[in-house]
Structure 1
Amino acid sequence: MIGPPDPISNLRPVAYHVPRNEHEIEKEFRVRREEVQKWNETFWTKHNKSFIKERKEFIAANLPPNESAGTGKQTLTADEMSVFYKTFLDKNWKVHVQYNAEWYWKNIGLVIFALRVKIFKIKQRLMSDSQ
């Protein structure tokens, strides 16, 4: 089952089905998937909290003061905000590169494990068919 997006990480939580007769290799694959999902959720929650905080600070620091209540500028233009976005991305470039590298390795590991589970299931089917 897939749930609604988390308000901070923007990721949808996944609840994996646990079969009654789940074999140990299938359980290990499911647990690894859950661990990768949790790692990803933790990263994006932390990253997005930082982004939201820094964006608020940037807006507050770059809005001109209101001369009279309600007449001042309330938001920044897209061009003005692009300065923040570029600065934030440049500042976090190494973090994103590290995240992407780790994300790829974790997913390659999951694909390899999924193949192991598939081969196990094929062997089980072949053994049950031959009996």
Structure 2
Amino acid sequence: MQRHLVGPPDPISHLRPIIYDDVPPPPAPAVVNHPYSLQEFDPEPARISNTYEMQWKLQRQQLDDTSQDFWLNSNTRFETAKEAVLASLPPGSTPLDKENALSEFYKQWLLQESARVDEYSKIWRALNWANIVLAARVKYSRFPAGLFKSTQKS
């Protein structure tokens, strides 16, 4: 049974990372004393049963990384620009002055970023669909094995 975990939100991107429990652990560092690695291959069968499954897990992580990178960059630039707008106001600015300046800033930000967000959305959708297709291939590749197991129990 898989138990993926959801981590706390990133303070800048505001995305909650998913911690997958089905990712193979990194190989333990080994001291090589022999010209041929005697422990090169794990004697236990791999948890990843096929190429599609490995590709799906890598692509799933790529999708998460793409989202994290985009929103981290976008929110960092947004906060920097917002602070610059607030810093440009005279010291005696009223709350209404700040509200008007921020309102104009938000409007300009949305216009400025629309092409970038559209491009990100296009990439995200393509990666997500590819991920769904790979997940379906993984399930489909497991189907005959699951069918065989269920007939053995009877």
State the TM-score, normalizing by the size of structure 1: 0.84
Return the structure number with greater relative CO, CA threshold 8 A, min gap 6. Answer: 2
Query: What is the number of residues matched between the two proteins?
Result: 124
Residue from 81, 85, 98 that aligns with 1:76: 98
Quick check: 1:64 aligned with 2:68?
Answer: no
Tell me how large the CA RMSD over aligned residues is.
Answer: 2.0
Determine which of 12, 16, 39 is the counterpart of 1:12.
Answer: 16
- Greater Cα shift, 103-112 or 23-32: 23-32
Task: List, as ranges, runs of 4+ consecutive aligned residues in structure 1 with deviation greater than 4 Å.
Answer: none
Counterpart residue number, 2:48: 22
Which structure 2 residue ranges, 5 or more long, are not aligned? 24-45
For residues 142 and 21 of structure 2, the distance between their equivalents in structure 1, rounded to whole angstroms, comes to 17
Q: How far apart in 2 are the matches of 1:47 and 1:117?
A: 34
Whole-angstrom distance in 2 between the partners of 1:93 and 1:13: 25
- On the 8 A contact 1:16/1:30 being kept in 2, the answer is no
Percent identical among aligned pairs is 28
Give the aligned partner of residue 36 of structure 2.
none
Residue ranges of structure 1 left out of the alignment (5+ in a row): 67-71
Pairwise CA distance, 1:30 = 1.4
Which residue type is aligned with residue 124 of structure 1?
A
Q: For residue 43 of structure 2, what is the aligned residue in structure 1? A: none
Other structure's SS at 1:76 match = helix
What is the TM-score normalised by the length of structure 2?
0.72
**Counterpart in the other structure of 1:126:** 147
Match of 2:137 in 1: 116
Aligned to 1:34: 61
Q: Which has the higher helix share?
A: 1
